[in-house]
Amino acid sequence: MTVPGVPALPTQPHPGLRPDPDWFRTEVFYEALLRSFADSDADGVGDFRGLASRLDYLAWLGVDAIWIPPFYPSPMRDGGYDIADYTGVDPRYGTMDDFRALVAAAHERGIRVVIDMVLNHTSDAHPWFQASRRDPDGPYGDFYVWADDDSAYADARIIFVDTEQSNWSYDEVRGQYFWHRFFSHQPDLNYDNPAVVAAVHDVVRFWARTGVDGFRLDAIPYLVEEEGTNCENLPGTHRLIAGLRRMLDQEFPGTITIAEANQWPADVVAYFGSQDAPECTMCFHFPVMPRIFSSLRQGTATAIREVLEATPPIPAHGQWGTFLRNHDELTLEMVTDAERERMYHWYAPQDRMRANVGIRRRLAPLLGDSRAELELAHVLLLSLPGSPCLYYGDEIGMGENIWLPDRDAVRTPMQWDRSANMGFSACTDPAALTLPLIDAAGYADRCVADALADPDSLLHFLRHVLRVRREHPVLGRGDFRLRPASDAALLAHTRADSPVAGGAGGADGEVLLCLANLADRPCEARVELPELAGRATRTVLAAAPSAPPPAVDARGELAVALPPHGYWWLAVTPNREEDR
């Protein structure tokens, strides 16, 4: 079926980029919320030209890929995730030519571009839905999930429990109920209809032809419904994702897909697919993120260890995606009730700080603006399995505005300098800004310009750590192994190239030992590294000037001392006698 509004576009060249199908393994991603990043035309809304004007800054920082959330025409009732036209650009953000120019400019700087693709639902303003509700027997009549009553799929949970009472809503025009797993203004597409599958493939092709390097697939566990199930992670959903991946591999090789599936690792791992039927290239590892925050307050690495130990192996073609914060709330769906109450107590004592089943706060305020904790959290992010994603503004310790509705608390304009509107926009009317500027004490005046001028700033620290990570690609692609430590406060793990028995690393491979003290007290501990007995180490990254790097003794133990919230990355020196 031909889908109106999906024109063919020529393939965009990729200047400045290696044709590497595994490019994503060692990359650091950066989420740039378009409407809040940089405004080029003084209308108060960030846009493509504004983002393009800041690419040199991102390249300087060490960003390898930018992730751009939805920029499609939208009523903006859900931050743009309520899409009214899959193949359009909202005029507030620019034109299709502006988008293509942004992709080309990013590629010239060696930066790849990933965009959001919302497969589960559209806005109720989308022409497909309007046609479906007005003409049930027409070509779009079966594009959505309709029913005469709201009794079906009763075992499916309600996701937005603070705003929705049901997954069904009645439509007065059609005289039937429509299904929605999220907001009631976001009807779910009907993937039992082959025409919907074909239409979505055409949409993905359209954007792939612009030269984008990947798609973040939003809310994919809920694509298919089946009576008697919870309507999550169903076999039909996996077949759909595998079909999309097959099309991309055949027509746009090297284009990745990232699964946003807020599930337990044992369920999420299925979204990588198999060698014979691969699905997503990357999957976000949601459960590890709240455990980092929990461990910082408990002063022990136990929660992080437990979730990593419960994470099953993934196929060779896959990679985890990790993050500390993003444009949504810090989700607490994947924790126990007791853990959730503790997290609320530690990090969201005010009701305004909470949203859905989570916390709507930015990284710096969450951690009490503690420089030591901010450094440690980022060092953990950059050393754990997966490709890390930073959130715009976190590199300068930006604040939040909990008085804004829903998740807008963490989506305020980027603070570039101390000029009007903090350099985000030359707009003369502050009321026209996409969101109000932060006015919280201690955060209102933070900006990139000041951070650039201060060599000891968090920004310069992150740039340094990103450079170190780039020099050690084993942190992105290496074998990961947790190591026993005598103090529960210490998280110890190795990343190793060319793994041999025990994960030690071969003669030509690199082995890094990563240490992190989650406690606010000094930590002295012994780490067990039996297959590395007798090896020396050298410092790659450390929290502060420290003693000479320790060697692994003849028993395979390494004695280490770290300051409160300290960290230490040690490169294990090859044993030349063994390697001959």
**Phi-psi domain of 506 (left: phi exceeds 0; alpha: psi -120 through 50; beta: other):** beta
Tell me: do 320 and 424 sit in the same domain.
yes
Question: DSSP 3-state assignment of 226?
Answer: coil
Domain presence at residue 568:
yes
Tell me: do 235 and 355 sit in the same domain.
yes
Tell me: do 562 and 498 sit in the same domain.
yes
Q: CA-based angle 117:28:30, to the nearest 5?
A: 50
Report the relative pairing of strands 65-68 and 29-31 from DSSP bridges.
parallel
Domain presence at residue 108:
yes
Sign of the dihedral defined by the CA atoms of residues 376, 377, 378, 379, in that order: positive
Q: Say what the pLDDT of residue 100 is.
A: 96
Tell me: do 31 and 111 sit in the same domain.
yes
322: enclosing H helix or E strand = strand 319-323
Q: In 3D, which of 324, 330, 292, 322 has the Cα closest to residue 409?
A: 330
First CA to last CA distance, the chain: 64
Q: Which two tokens stand for residue 224?
A: 């298919």
3-state secondary structure 559-571: EEEECCCCEEEEE
Tell me: do 370 and 486 sit in the same domain.
no
Number of domains in the chain: 2
The DSSP symbol for 181 reads S
CATH number of the domain at 302, please: 3.20.20.80
Tell me: do 417 and 558 sit in the same domain.
no
The DSSP symbol for 344 reads H
Domain presence at residue 114:
yes
The residue out of 470, 490, 520 marking a domain boundary is 470
The residue out of 450, 470, 490 marking a domain boundary is 470
* Structural domain range at position 53: 23-78+87-120+190-470
The separation between CA 409 and the C-alpha centre of its own chain, rounded to angstroms, equals: 18
CATH number of the domain at 552, please: 2.60.40.1180
Domain presence at residue 4:
no
56 burial via Cβ count (<10 Å: 0-12, 13-18, 19+): exposed
Domain presence at residue 70:
yes
Report the relative pairing of strands 146-147 and 168-171 from DSSP bridges.
unpaired
Q: Which ranges constitute the DSSP H helices of 436-545?
A: 448-453, 458-471, 474-477
Domain presence at residue 578:
no
The residue out of 426, 442, 470 marking a domain boundary is 470
Look over the chain and give the mean of its residue pLDDT values, rounded to a whole number.
93
Domain presence at residue 357:
yes
What residues are annotated to the active site? Answer: 218, 260
Q: Say what the pLDDT of residue 526 is.
A: 98
The separation between CA 273 and the C-alpha centre of its own chain, rounded to angstroms, equals: 20
Tell me: do 413 and 392 sit in the same domain.
yes
Tell me: do 500 and 558 sit in the same domain.
yes
Tell me: do 437 and 324 sit in the same domain.
yes
Q: Which residues pair with 66 in a beta bridge?
A: 30, 113
Sign of the dihedral defined by the CA atoms of residues 151, 154, 159, 161, in that order: positive
List for the chain the helix, strand, coil content (%; round to 5).
30, 20, 50
Neighbours of 310 (CB within 10 A): 11
Question: DSSP 3-state assignment of 422?
Answer: helix
Question: Looking up tokens 């559209």, which residue turns up?
Answer: 122
Tell me: do 58 and 104 sit in the same domain.
yes
Q: Which two tokens stand for residue 213?
A: 């390097």
Q: How far is it, in rounded angstroms, from Cα 530 to Cα 432?
A: 62
3-state secondary structure 107-141: HHCCCEEEEEEECCECCCCCHHHHHHHHCCCCCCC
Tell me: do 466 and 495 sit in the same domain.
no
Segment 495-533, tens digit of pLDDT: 999 654 344 444 458 999 999 999 999 999 999 999 999
Q: Say what the pLDDT of residue 318 is.
A: 95
Domain presence at residue 128:
no
Q: Say what the pLDDT of residue 579 is.
A: 43
Dihedrals φ, ψ of 358, to 5°?
A: -175, -170
Q: Say what the pLDDT of residue 509 is.
A: 82
Tell me: do 366 and 459 sit in the same domain.
yes
Q: Which two tokens stand for residue 240?
A: 């759909």
Which residue numbers in the chain have pLDDT < 50? 1-5, 500-507, 577-580
